[in-house]
């Protein structure tokens, strides 16, 4: 084992230790709630916006559901500013987890997601931007697992980030709309959000089925979408 491997291992351990320390000392378990948002984010101007942006990037980067955080963004800032901040935060989270895997945790990620990495590399490599956009519009799949697998694959970073950012737009907007209507007209905003979610999900599935050109992104995703199973199985 060379010095670079040792340094990467130390940095990974430091990251985990730092996250655990903040979780216990700063009460991060209660951060993403309406009460905490009311106290620290809502009505706090630019300071609240920057704090939420940082939290959104961290939360989505470690795998918390971006749909829930998007609804909190809508609740705190309204649909348009909330969508914008959340979209930027989610994209930063994507970049962070991508480079975390690529620069620091390549070995563990390759061991954990070996099958997913092969499929993702094959799926995205030739048309990274358009196929990433396709992936992000699907109503199923793991955002952070995709980021990590992409980080240790051979795909180019910029088209992956750009396709991700644009692909995040529909669900970010929909769930920010849901959150923005909590205190105004919850019934109407919920109904409209459900309709838009179903429509965007159906569009994502349609595009996946018609433009994947026989490639499989992930066996579990294909199963959820009712697609034919492939002979290759993902490694644990």
The pLDDT value recorded for residue 179 is 82
User: pTM for the complete prediction?
Assistant: 0.77
Residues 6+ apart with CB under 8 A from 63: 142, 143, 144, 145
Dist CA 219 CA 224 (whole Å): 9
The pLDDT value recorded for residue 186 is 65
Task: Identify the DSSP state of 217.
Answer: S
- Look at 21-25, 115-119, 155-159, 168-172 and tell me which has the smallest mean pLDDT: 21-25
> Taking residues 90-110, what's their average pLDDT?
89
Dist CA 15 CA 21 (whole Å): 10
| 231 or 95, higher pLDDT | 95
Residue-wise pLDDT for 175-187, tens only, equals 888 888 765 666 7
Helix (H) or strand (E) holding 63: none
């Amino acid at each position: 084992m060379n010095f670079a491997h040792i340094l990467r291992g130390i940095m990974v351990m430091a990251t985990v230790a730092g996250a655990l320390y903040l979780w216990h000392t700063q009460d991060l378990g209660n951060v993403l709630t309406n009460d905490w948002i009311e106290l620290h984010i809502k009505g706090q101007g630019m300071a609240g916006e920057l704090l939420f942006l940082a939290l959104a990037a961290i939360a989505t980067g470690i795998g918390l559901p971006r749909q829930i955080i998007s609804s909190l963004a809508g609740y705190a800032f309204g649909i348009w500013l909330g969508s914008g901040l959340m979209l930027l935060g989610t994209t930063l989270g994507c970049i962070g987890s991508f480079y975390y895997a690529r620069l620091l945790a390549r070995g563990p990620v390759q061991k954990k997601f070996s099958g997913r990495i092969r499929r993702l590399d094959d799926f995205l490599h030739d048309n990274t931007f358009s196929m990433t956009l396709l992936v992000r519009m699907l109503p199923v799949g793991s955002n952070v697992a995709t980021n990590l697998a992409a980080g240790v694959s051979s795909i180019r970073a910029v088209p992956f980030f750009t396709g991700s950012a644009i692909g995040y737009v529909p669900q970010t907007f929909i769930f920010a709309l849901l959150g923005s209507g909590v205190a105004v007209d919850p019934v109407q905003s919920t109904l409209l959000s459900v309709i838009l979610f179903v429509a965007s999900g159906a569009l994502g599935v349609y595009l996946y089925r018609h433009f994947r050109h026989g490639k499989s992104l992930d066996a579990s995703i294909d199963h959820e979408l009712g697609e034919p199973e492939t002979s290759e199985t993902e490694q644990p």
